[in-house]
Chain A
Amino acid sequence: TQLLEQSPQFLSIQEGENLTVYCNSSSVFSSLQWYRQEPGEGPVLLVTVVTGGEVKKLKRLTFQFGDARKDSSLHITAAQPGDTGLYLCAGGGGTSYGKLTFGQGTILTVHP
């Protein structure tokens, strides 16, 4: 069974601060996605990383995929209240074609 450990579970910060969310596993994933979800909506895909060591940037968000494709991180620079939401990492691949393994989620609150 593949597991993804996501941390921290909760983050409460002030506007302008930086933060990092981590996802770690003992399993290798062929791809890893990050989603953001706001109340009353479904998760929205932010990024997919597929290559070990890959780094992707989306404005103030930086995503890294570990060299061994077992871990990933999401770094937000100068957080804004609009970044508030539930962040989920999810790993794909392995023996369960099409299915994703989700981390436990990180609830981020950015105070103005």
Chain B
Amino acid sequence: SAVISQKPSRDICQRGTSLTIQCQVDSQVTMMFWYRQQPGQSLTLIATANQGSEATYESGFVIDKFPISRPNLTFSTLTVSNMSPEDSSIYLCSVNRVYNEQFFGPGTRLTVL
């Protein structure tokens, strides 16, 4: 398994501003994933972040809106840029292990006013 922490746990932001979410893992991992989730609903993958290369974004998500950094094998950040109320959501990071198992952080609950 893996122990994953996220900061902040929640935030309330104004429209037009940006928020950077941090994800820290207790061990080195190759792949990290960023998801978005509406309360009570399933997860939507935003991007996959590999250390040493640019993140790979899923359809509907672009680097200008969700820039990702992956400076080392235990850390990643996701920035939500130029926020609007539609960006209000829970943002989760995860890492994978054998058999495609993923382990998730506790999430960041974002509210945009």
Question: Does any Cβ of A come within 8 Å of B31's Cβ?
Answer: yes
What is the interface size of chain B, counting residues whose CB is below 8 A from a CB of the partner?
24
A12-20, A71-79, A99-107 - interface stretch? A99-107
Q: Is B60 an interface residue (CB 8 A)?
A: no
Contact residues on A (Cβ < 8 Å of other chain), bracket: 20 to 34
Instruction: Please tell me if the beta carbons of B42 and A103 are within 8 angstroms of each other in the complex.
Output: yes
**Residue in A104, A105, A107 with the greatest tally of chain B CB atoms within 10 Å:** A105
Residues of A within 8 A of B67 (CB): none
Which residue of the partner chain A has the closest CB to B99? A31
Please tell me if the beta carbons of A98 and B100 are within 8 angstroms of each other in the complex. yes
Chain A 25-68 interface 0/1 with B at a Cβ cutoff of 8 Å (1 = within): 00000110101000111111100101000000000000000000
Are A33 and B102 touching (Cβ within 8 A)?
A: yes
Instruction: Check: B104 CB closer than 8 A to any chain A CB.
Output: yes
Interface positions, chain B 69-105, Cβ under 8 Å from A, are 92, 94, 96, 99-105
Cβ–Cβ contact B104 & A42, under 8 A: yes
| Chain B residues with CB below 8 A from A21, complex form | none
Contacts A31-B99, A31-B100, A42-B104 given: A88-B33 contact, CB under 8 Å? no
Contact B100 A86 (CB under 8 A): no
Contacts A33-B99, A45-B101, A48-B99 known; 15 new A-B pairs at CB < 8 A:
A6-B42, A30-B99, A31-B101, A41-B106, A42-B4, A42-B92, A42-B106, A42-B107, A43-B92, A48-B101, A92-B100, A98-B33, A99-B45, A99-B100, A103-B42
Hey, which bits of chain A sit against chain B, CB under 8 A? 6, 30-31, 33, 35, 39-45, 48, 50, 86, 88, 90, 92-93, 98-100, 102-105, 107
6 smallest A-B Cβ distances: which pairs?
A92-B100, A42-B104, A31-B99, A105-B42, A98-B31, A102-B42
30 intermolecular pairs with C-beta atoms under 8 Å apart? A30-B99, A31-B100, A33-B99, A33-B101, A33-B102, A35-B104, A40-B106, A41-B106, A42-B92, A42-B104, A42-B105, A42-B107, A43-B43, A43-B92, A45-B101, A48-B100, A88-B43, A92-B101, A98-B31, A98-B33, A98-B48, A98-B96, A99-B33, A99-B100, A103-B42, A104-B41, A105-B40, A105-B41, A105-B42, A107-B40
